[in-house]
Structure 1
Amino acid sequence: MSCPCGCGDSITLSLQAIHKPHWSLSQTESLRPTLYPSVWRDVGCFSHFWVRDGRVFWCADTGFPPVRSRF
């Protein structure tokens, strides 16, 4: 998918449970996509967002790199 921020980057997400991290994609009754969990890009624009019922919901920490766990 294209990054919804408009930066022009492509985002590739794994839907396979054997991969970590992985996402679940479903359709609502209105046939719009819902993606779980949120997407937080760790390169480029650092967009952080949810996709629910075909709409993008931005998280307040968009634009900041995710904190990487040391464990």
Structure 2
Amino acid sequence: MGIIKLIIIVLIVWLGISVWRKFRKTTDNNLSQPSTSKMLSCSVCKTHIPENEAILQDGKVYCSKSCL
């Protein structure tokens, strides 16, 4: 009967640690999410901007409508 109690205790501890790590990982991801977008250089003024904010036209990259 002693070995069964030990196995149950080990499983409970393992489960607790797994849940704690998963919770900690999700809260860490919510606190800081680094930008993963590629930086592009404007064809006119050479300013670097994130790819999702760039204006693409005729194969060239522009940072704003004024550079376009």
Length-normalised TM-score, structure 2: 0.24
- Structure exhibiting the larger radius of gyration computed from Cα positions: 2
**Which structure is higher in helix share?**
2
Structure (1/2) with the larger strand percentage = 1
